[in-house]
Amino acid sequence: MEYPEKQFESDDPFEFVAVRYPVSSERNHDFQMARCFIEEYALMGWPGSQIRTLFETPLYAGPHAIFQKWGSKVVDELIREIFSAEEVADGTGA
Amino acid sequence: MAQVHNWQLGRDMRYRFEPGKPERQFAAVFNINRCIACQTCTMACKSTWTHSPGQELMWWNNVETKPYGGYPDHWDVKTLALLDEANPGGQVWDGDPVENVRAPYGRFDGQTVFEAADGLTQEAVGYLPEEREWKAPNRFEDHATKFPAAGVSLPEHDGWFFYLARICNHCTYPACLAACPRNAIYKRPKDGIVLVDQERCRGYRKCVEACPYKKTMYRPTTRTTEKCIGCYPRVEGEDPLTQGLPMEPRCMAACVGKIRMHGLVNVEADGTWTNDPTHPLYYLVHEEQVALPLYPQFGTQPNIYYIPPRWVPRDYLRQMFGPGVDQAIERYTRPSRTLLALLQLFRASQRIIYSFDVEEGPKVGELVVGGEVIEMFNDTAVGFDESGGEIVRVDVEEPIFERPGKLNSI
């Protein structure tokens, strides 16, 4: 059975709806989220250089949005900070 | 009416039936920090169980975008509002998380869905969603629409969303079961899975009204209620793939983000979990206390646990997961050596893991997390089946395979 194809129209009931969820302005939530991205992968043994590619690649929408908004310098600084401790094996650092 | 112990609330509470003691309890831990809302779990369930006429609006598994999305629309906010209306300002916790299997999150001093009900017209406080509220598994988020010619303007979030994957919680004290006037809903003695007897069900929808998680759903073509069956044929080992050995449900086994760990836990007569730190779920829920029940204040003692998302405002998370949130995030962010290894066992095998062990490996680095240095070891997590046979082993350091760009056919 074939169904007729109908395009969405502006008065369809599926309208865009959104509300703002209030969050504290005292901290930068983009930076906090970037740390989460980096630390999640770092704790699985990913090297910093590999994690950086997540931010560079548009296919990873979340990290890439941060990369675009704040630039590579900020991302590199965060990665460097998380990997700043002494490394004892190859391939785990930035 | 019976008095039962609800360890998630740290106290006894009123329930319609005396507690049953299943041989084991169906349970799972979902790590929200790693969910990307790909909906693979949703489609794995849909294509297995709810693809027939009359089931079009049924999503036994769904992933909703929080804080705004939901299936059915605003299910949690509506139930919270009903409880607040019944007990204004009284839905509060007393105490802090402690290592006590009978009261790990302190004591809840408010009213459960059972205690807020009058016990005559309702066994549990709830509401019956309208049909339109079931129409999208994540309504207002992630669904197709058309931009008006003039464009749209929406408020922009300062914070980041998170995704909440949900199935039936196969509660220890199910509200659906308590509400059924036909006693058509039962909890299986062998694994605690909650099922609807389709022969007895007459479609009164009292269960739909009572379930605070809204995971019982009416099917108009059969005039009965249906719900997640915990993929019990797989849990029983009837899937030929594992030759009689218990398997995880479809939604768990399909998870590409590896956010899910499923299992069967041993329980005591009072509903608490049997002390067994070698069981991966016991370790996550009771030893490390990184996994928390969803809306424990509802009082049904749900058996799906969540590692809360670390970036989300804490007041929102405390309402959703109770007072254990801060400790859970602290321990998840700076994981112990055992926890870090165990996290790698998530979705490492389709077979149900009954116990685990960690074999120590070399130190491979140090990270600075939250201003503190943590050591990383390439330990190996090993999962075992019911008889102690090895199922799977994975290292902390994930192997990385990079596909050359020129071979990419996309």
Please write the tens of the pLDDT for every residue from B145-168: 566 677 667 666 778 889 999 999
Sorting pLDDT into bands at 50, 70 and 90, what band is A81? very high
What ranges in B15-165 are assigned the alpha helix state H? 40-49, 75-86
Percent of chain A with pLDDT over 70: 71
Q: Which residues contact B132 (CB under 8 A, 6 or more apart)?
A: B73
Q: A48-56 and A61-70 helices cross at what angle (nearest 10)?
A: 80
CB contact under 8 A, B369 and A44: no
CB contact under 8 A, B155 and A44: no
Confirm whether A77 is domain-assigned. yes
CB contact under 8 A, A89 and B364: yes
Q: Do A12 and B149 touch (CB under 8 A)?
A: no
Position A89 scores a pLDDT of: 43
Confidence class of residue A3 from pLDDT cuts 50, 70 and 90? low
Structural domain contains residue A53: yes
Average pLDDT in the B334-350 region?
Answer: 96
Q: Does the beta-carbon distance from B365 to A85 stay under 8 Å? A: yes
pLDDT band at A17, cuts 50/70/90?
A: low
Give the confidence band of B410 by pLDDT, cuts at 50, 70, 90. Answer: low
Is the pLDDT at B40 greater than 80? The verdict is yes
Is 80 exceeded by the pLDDT of residue B250? Answer: yes
| Residue in B148, B313, B400 nearest the CB of A23 | B313
| B142, B158, B401, best to mutate vs chain A, most A CBs in 10 Å | B158
Q: Which of A10, A23, A85 is opposite residue B368, by nearest beta carbon?
A: A85
On the question of pLDDT at A88 being above 50, the answer is no
Domain count along chain A: 1
With beta carbons under 8 A apart, name residues in chain B contacting A39.
333, 367, 369
Can you tell me the mean pLDDT for B135-142?
A: 71
- In a domain, residue A40? The reply is yes
Residue of A32, A39, A83 to mutate for B, most B C-beta atoms under 10 A: A39
Tell me the two tokens of residue B109.
Answer: 């001093």
Q: Do B344 and A23 touch (CB under 8 A)?
A: no
Put simply, whether B159 touches A (Cβ < 8 Å) is yes
pLDDT of B116? 97
Q: Report percent pLDDT > 70 for chain B.
A: 95
Average pLDDT over residues B59-79: 92
Select the more confidently predicted residue: B399 or B331: B331
pLDDT (tens digit per residue) in B363-376: 999 999 988 999 99
B279 pLDDT above the threshold of 70: yes
Position A91 in a domain: no
ipTM over 0.85: yes
Neighbours of B387 (CB within 10 A): 7
Residue of B384 and B136 predicted with greater confidence: B384
Radius of gyration of chain B (CA): 21
Flag whether A4 is in a domain: no
Structure confidence at residue B256 as a pLDDT band (50, 70, 90): very high
Q: What is the mean pLDDT of residues B8-19?
A: 95
The verdict on residue A66 lying in a domain is yes
Q: Does B361 touch chain A (CB under 8 A)?
A: no
3-state SS class at B137: coil
**CB within 8 Å: A18 and B68:** yes
**Interval B283-322: pLDDT, tens:** 999 999 999 999 999 999 999 999 999 999 999 999 999 9
How confident is the model over B186-196, as a mean pLDDT? 97
Mean pLDDT of the region B389-409 = 83
The pLDDT tens digits of the residues spanning B81-120 come to: 999 999 999 999 997 778 788 899 999 999 999 999 998 8
- φ and ψ of B406, to 5 deg: -75, -15
Burial call B209-220: b when 16+ CB within 10 Å, e when fewer? bbbbbbbbbbbe
Of A8, A86, A92, the CB nearest to B146: A8
Q: Give B-chain residues touching A8 at CB under 8 angstroms.
A: 144-146
Q: Which residue of A has its CA nearest to B377?
A: A45
Cβ–Cβ gap A88/B160 under 8 Å = no
Mutation test of the interface with chain B: which of A1, A5, A14, choosing the one with the most B Cβ atoms within 10 A?
A14
Cβ neighbours for B36, distance < 8 A, ≥ 6 positions apart: B163, B257
With an 8 Å Cβ cutoff, is B372 touching chain A? no
Using the Cβ of B336 and the Cβ atoms of chain A, whether some distance falls under 8 Å is answered with: no
Tell me the CA distances in angstroms from B289 to A41, B103, B148, B262, one per residue in order.
22, 12, 48, 16
Assess if residue A57 is contained within a domain: yes
**Which residue of chain A comes nearest to B313, CA vs CA?**
A23
Q: Do the chains contact at A86 and B335, CB–CB below 8 Å?
A: no
Distance (Å) from the alpha carbon of A42 to chain B's nearest alpha carbon: 8
Verify whether the Cβ–Cβ distance B145 to A14 is below 8 Å.
yes
What's the whole-number mean pLDDT along residues A78-86?
Answer: 88
Q: Specify the pLDDT at position A27.
A: 74
Mean pLDDT of B277-286: 98
pLDDT of the residue at B101: 84
DSSP string covering B148-173: -TT----PPPSS--EEEEE-----SS
Q: Are B365 and A89 within 8 A, CB to CB?
A: yes
- The answer to the question of residue A75 being in a domain is yes
pLDDT band at B76 (very low <50, low <70, confident <90, very high): very high
Which residues lie below 8 Å from residue B338, measured CB to CB, with a gap of 6+?
Answer: B283, B288, B358
B316, A21: Cβ pair inside 8 Å? yes
Q: What is the structure's pLDDT at A90?
A: 45
* Structural domain containing residue A57: 29-82
Three-state secondary-structure class, residue B103: coil
**Mean pLDDT, all residues of chain B:** 93
From residue B97, give the alpha-carbon distance in Å to each of B290, B300, B338.
11, 19, 21
Length of chain A as a residue count = 94
Q: Which of A20, A40, A89 sits opposite B155 (nearest CB)?
A: A20
B56 close contact with A: CB closer than 8 A: no
Chain B CB contacts of A10 below 8 Å: 146-149
- In this structure, of B129-138, B168-177, B324-333, the range with the lowest mean pLDDT score is B129-138
Q: How far is the CA of B66 from the CAs of B63, B159, B160, B316, in angstroms?
A: 9, 11, 9, 10
